[in-house]
Amino acid sequence: MLAPLAARLSKHLAFVSCIATTGGGLAILVILAPTVFSGRELTHFLGHWAPFSGQELGDTFGADPFGLAFALAVAAIGLLLLIFSLSSLLDLGRRELGAYACLSQLLIAALIGSGLTADLVNLFVWFEVAALASYGLTGFFLERPLALEAAFKILVLTNLASFAVFIGAAIIYSDHGALNFGQIEQALHGHTRDADLVALGILLAGFATKAGVIPFHGWLADAHTAAPGPVSALFSGLMVNLGVVAIVRLSLQIFDSHTADPVLGLLTVLGAISAVVGAVLALAQDDLKRVLAYDTISQMGVLLVGFATHEAAGISGATYHLLNHAIFKSLLFLCAGAIVHATGLDKLSEMGGLARRMPLIAAGFVVGAASIAGVPPLNGYVSLGLIHETLFSHDRAAYVAIVVAQIVTVAALARATYLAFFRRRTQRLPDLTPLHPGMITALVGLGAGCVGFGIFPYEVLRHIVEPAAGGLLASNAYAAGVLSAGAHLPIPAVNYAYFSARDFLTALGTLAAGLALAAWYVRVPEPRPITWLRALHTGSVNDYASYLTAGGIVTVAVLVIR
């Protein structure tokens, strides 16, 4: 928070203080990690206001493995993004650097807080802090008209979402007198009324807006297009996950068993629609960052479908994919940002032949794209394999939707990679700005993350992902834990075979089909259905707000009618 002041003294001081505080936060989380991932939930009552006969009045923080995994990912990737962005912004003035450092740290802090909080209003506050920081970061280069436009869109939509979250929390409180997650869970046991379901619907709509799930997604692509590369990475890799984490906590840990079916069904449908439509829209974009932004929408859909399986393997796969997505999407956005930084180009139609001039960025982008595509040694293969495997035995319709989405995703990224890096270039490129060492550090770090999470799947599963899934499934134990001094959460064992024939063939099949689709798509004019789909995205903030409202009404209606 002191970064703007430090920047007045010296730019390097601001840089160092910012990195040091984020690194310190990361170190604290890492110290907690072994205890929490061994299945122990840690609880802290703010101001030591411990619960009195099952009633908790103060704020509660509860570090369960799922929340801590998210917080760790935010702190570690956030640190790399700060190194990248601050070293590329060192050319800017002191005030800009200080403000940028302050806003990004605010966002990172809000995300860590939202992962660890166990209090509904506290969650709303973190949501709002993240929202305010994101407004500032979207409109950071206010002299660009695109940034103004995007800032207004994100303001209107996120503001509506934050009202939804606020009202939802208030309804739950006035119904049960509870804000602590554990207390709500216990109050809801057998006493779920229609008002609670309305509240749940409103809360889900609010957090789905943050997560960018279709039809709540209007702000996402525009905010990513207008913001600088590292900010897009922060939004797409980390911030949208806030919505997913909150949705998962609400639907699995708080509104568990008795209302689970309609909620999980709703999440599966929303997720499948987001996955397919997001991927199709990504295929059609000309702006490199919009390709990646629509792909984020698609991946959030995949995550929701994975979590909605309510099976240990599916939830593990989705948690794994959440971490993977944070790594590879940050990497891809940093590459896109580095291209803009070095060449000033952002349209795929103007790029081409960049691989020869920017080999490091090309390598980073290919690693990221191959991870999303699920190419075997990289991380996407494992998490997608787990999700596909669970859906195959659990829900065939969702399986088909997710595999189709995966094929289109592969096609979209293959098309972008080909057009940007490997197409033959006719005109000369402008002179390139060289990369700073900080930028290279971040790219290499994230690339190593993609490879590391891919070649040590059993370690990640056993030490991070399985405990997280256990905490999400054992809602009673979690609830008891945040109402007392912590609890032991069970750790399920997930069967995962790295070289299972079906996983391998699915990965190969989607890859081949996706490449074929990309090869076909770059040759034909835009197909009619895609034009219609794109025409729905009118760019008018009123229309996006209408989609959001309609989505919210449908969500509430589905939950109440069942």
Partner 1 sequence: MIVANYLTAAALFCFGLYTVLTRRNLIKMVMGLSLIESSSYLLLISMAYRRGSTPPVLLNPPHGQTVTGLAKGNVADPVLQNFCLTAIVIGVAVTAVFLSVAVRVSQHYRSLDSDRMREMKG
Q: What are the residues binding partner 1 (CB under 8 A)?
A: 57, 121, 125, 128, 131-132, 135-136, 139, 142, 145-146, 148-152, 155-156, 159-160, 162-163, 166-167, 169-170, 173-174, 179, 221-222, 225-226, 284-285, 534-535, 537-542, 545-546, 549
Distance CA 267, CA 527 (A): 29
Give the DSSP H or E segment for 486. none
In the complex, the smallest distance separating the C-beta of residue 561 from partner 1, rounded to whole angstroms, is 20
Which is closer to partner 1, CB of 109 or CB of 443? 109
Cβ atoms within 10 Å, residue 262: 17
Contact 39, 490 (CB under 8 A): yes
The total number of residues shown for the chain amounts to: 562
In the complex, the smallest distance separating the C-beta of residue 551 from partner 1, rounded to whole angstroms, is 13
In the complex, the smallest distance separating the C-beta of residue 6 from partner 1, rounded to whole angstroms, is 23
Q: Which two tokens stand for residue 522?
A: 């770059």
Which is closer to partner 1, CB of 83 or CB of 223? 223
Return the sign of the alpha-carbon dihedral for residues 95, 101, 103, 104: positive
Contact 274, 298 (CB under 8 A): yes
DSSP H stretches of helix in 216-287: 218-226, 229-233, 240-248, 260-284
In the complex, the smallest distance separating the C-beta of residue 417 from partner 1, rounded to whole angstroms, is 21
Which is closer to partner 1, CB of 116 or CB of 541? 541
In the complex, the smallest distance separating the C-beta of residue 115 from partner 1, rounded to whole angstroms, is 21
Which is closer to partner 1, CB of 22 or CB of 122? 122
In the complex, the smallest distance separating the C-beta of residue 290 from partner 1, rounded to whole angstroms, is 8
Which is closer to partner 1, CB of 159 or CB of 484? 159
Give the DSSP H or E segment for 43. strand 40-45
CA dist 100 → 18, 92, 97, 134, 192 (Å): 10, 11, 5, 11, 44
Q: What is the DSSP string of 503-523?
A: HHHHHHHHHHHHHHHHHHHTT
CA neighbor of 475 nearest in space, from 172, 257, 204, 169 = 257
In the complex, the smallest distance separating the C-beta of residue 473 from partner 1, rounded to whole angstroms, is 31
Contact 248, 478 (CB under 8 A): no
Q: Order of strands, edge to edge, in the sheet holding 60-63?
A: 60-63, 40-45, 487-488
Distance CA 78, CA 236 (A): 12
Buried/exposed code over 311-349 (b: 16+ C-beta within 10 A; e: otherwise): bbbbbbbbbbbbbbbbbbbbbbbbbbbbbebbbebbebe
Strand partners, 117: 61
In the complex, the smallest distance separating the C-beta of residue 333 from partner 1, rounded to whole angstroms, is 17
Q: Which two tokens stand for residue 90?
A: 């060192």
Which is closer to partner 1, CB of 393 or CB of 546? 546
CA neighbor of 407 nearest in space, from 530, 299, 300, 514 = 514
* Torsion angle of C-alpha atoms 546, 132, 21, 114, degrees rounded to 10: -50
Q: Which two tokens stand for residue 67?
A: 């929340």
In the complex, the smallest distance separating the C-beta of residue 537 from partner 1, rounded to whole angstroms, is 5
Which is closer to partner 1, CB of 270 or CB of 282? 282
Side-chain-side CA neighbours of 446 within 13 Å: the count stands at: 42
Q: List CB contacts of 395: < 8 A, sequence separation 6 or more.
A: 268, 309
In the complex, the smallest distance separating the C-beta of residue 124 from partner 1, rounded to whole angstroms, is 8
Which is closer to partner 1, CB of 174 or CB of 257? 174
Which is closer to partner 1, CB of 176 or CB of 321? 176
Give the DSSP H or E segment for 375. none
Which is closer to partner 1, CB of 4 or CB of 447? 4
In the complex, the smallest distance separating the C-beta of residue 160 from partner 1, rounded to whole angstroms, is 7
In the complex, the smallest distance separating the C-beta of residue 489 from partner 1, rounded to whole angstroms, is 29
In the complex, the smallest distance separating the C-beta of residue 411 from partner 1, rounded to whole angstroms, is 18
Contact 415, 516 (CB under 8 A): no
Which is closer to partner 1, CB of 290 or CB of 310? 290
Which is closer to partner 1, CB of 143 or CB of 431? 143
Question: Which amino acid would we find at residue 149?
Answer: E
Which is closer to partner 1, CB of 127 or CB of 365? 127
